[in-house]
């Protein structure tokens, strides 16, 4: 049996060829092959032999091999069943790894988390297909499972939106939704040449340090995000206009609501902080 080191391009190509694997563009398959970036990803997860790692999109097991060395237990979720023989070979020596061939969006994560019962904490590591980054991220963040860190590879523009501050062009619903639940830290930028095959865009590794409590206290999360979505529904219009349209209220009602919350209705959604959005949504909730 060959002890495959799939971080080496020559071995990765040989393993894929052995099993007749072809990359599927529709699944956004790009396998990372830069050892120093792999090391940065695993280091960012801050794993010890007492911790568990939850991996989404192991591909050929490039990152998985390093996670297996760093963590007590690794559960990887792979959608493409064509990778079954590839992962069976690349992870043959990794006794602490379990691969689930499922669509992560269909998984009940509370059931998966039972596998980590003897782990101190769990961190998620993922090289996410760009076209489905946000749905997967929020499926995990909103699932209620306990996470320490989320270390993800995303398109650089998505990373900029996650980390954006109020008033910037990148600040929006994604910024607020992520920062509400986590502290966002950029780890490293990854060029297309670091992947096989190389994508057409630059990537960024981001670490989300999951907050024990949300960044702001809100009376009702659904109302909070309804207000946020309404405020960004028409970026060039003022809050008075966007909230009136998005919340189904008259401008007179919205004007009174904004005044009660202490927010100027002439402002635009991208200028408000999380604290101001919390105040807006809590004021709306209190009005019944």
> What region does 186 belong to: left with phi over 0, alpha with psi -120 to 50, or beta?
beta
Separation of alpha carbons 277 and 288, rounded Å = 17
CATH fold for domain 9-210: Rossmann fold (3.40.50)
Q: Which residue has the tokens 């402002």?
A: 267
Cα dihedral 189, 65, 83, 137 sign? negative
Q: Where are the domains of the chain?
A: 9-210, 221-286
Sign of CA dihedral 141, 145, 150, 155: negative
pLDDT of amino acid 2: 65
Query: 240 and 258 in contact (C-beta within 8 Å)?
Result: yes
Query: Residue 131: its pLDDT value, please?
Result: 80
Q: Are 38 and 194 spatial neighbours (Cβ–Cβ below 8 Å)?
A: no
Q: What is the pLDDT of residue 159?
A: 95
**SS3 (DSSP) at 53:** strand
Tens of pLDDT along the chain (288 residues) come to 567 888 888 999 999 999 999 988 878 888 998 999 999 999 999 999 999 999 999 999 999 999 999 999 999 999 999 999 999 999 999 999 999 999 999 999 999 999 999 999 999 999 877 788 889 999 999 999 999 999 999 999 999 999 999 999 999 999 999 999 999 999 999 999 999 999 989 999 999 999 999 999 999 999 999 999 999 999 889 999 999 999 999 999 999 999 999 999 999 999 999 999 999 999 999 875
What residues does 150 pair with on adjacent strands? Answer: 124, 208
**Angle of helix 274-286 relative to helix 221-231, nearest 10 degrees?**
120
- Specify the pLDDT at position 288: 57
- CA–CA gap between residue 151 and residue 205 (Å, rounded): 7
Give the span between the Cα atoms of 247 and 267, in whole angstroms: 17
Question: Is domain 221-286 classified as CATH 1.10.8.100?
Answer: yes
Q: Do domains 9-210 and 221-286 have the same CATH topology?
A: no
> What pLDDT was estimated at residue 21?
94
Six token digits for residue 157: 């523009």
């Amino acid at each position: 049996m060959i002890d495959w080191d799939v971080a080496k391009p020559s071995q990765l190509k040989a393993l894929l060829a052995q099993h007749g694997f072809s990359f599927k563009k529709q699944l956004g398959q790009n396998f990372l092959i830069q050892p120093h970036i792999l090391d940065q990803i695993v280091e960012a997860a801050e794993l010890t032999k007492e911790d568990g790692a939850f991996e989404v999109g192991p591909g050929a097991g490039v990152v998985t091999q390093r996670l297996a060395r760093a963590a007590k237990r690794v559960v990887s979720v792979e959608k493409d069943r064509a990778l079954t023989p590839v992962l069976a070979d690349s992870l043959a020596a990794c006794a602490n790894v379990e691969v689930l061939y499922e669509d992560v969006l269909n998984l009940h994560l509370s059931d998966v988390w039972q596998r980590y019962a003897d782990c101190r904490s769990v961190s998620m590591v993922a090289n996410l297909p760009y076209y489905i980054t946000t749905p997967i991220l929020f499926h995990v963040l909103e699932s209620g499972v306990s996470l320490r860190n989320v270390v993800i590879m995303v398109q650089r523009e998505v990373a900029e939106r996650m980390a954006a501050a109020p008033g910037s062009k990148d600040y929006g619903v994604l910024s607020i939704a992520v920062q509400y639940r986590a502290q966002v830290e950029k780890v490293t930028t990854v060029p297309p040449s670091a992947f096989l095959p190389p994508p057409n865009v630059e990537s960024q590794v981001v670490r989300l340090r999951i907050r024990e409590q949300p960044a702001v206290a809100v009376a009702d999360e659904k109302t909070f995000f309804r207000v946020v979505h309404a405020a960004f529904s028409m970026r060039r219009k003022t809050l008075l206009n966007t909230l009136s349209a998005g919340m189904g209220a008259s401008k007179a009602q919205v004007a009174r609501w904004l005044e009660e919350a202490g927010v100027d209705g002439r402002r635009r959604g991208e200028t408000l902080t999380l604290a101001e959005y919390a105040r807006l949504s809590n004021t709306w909730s209190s009005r019944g």
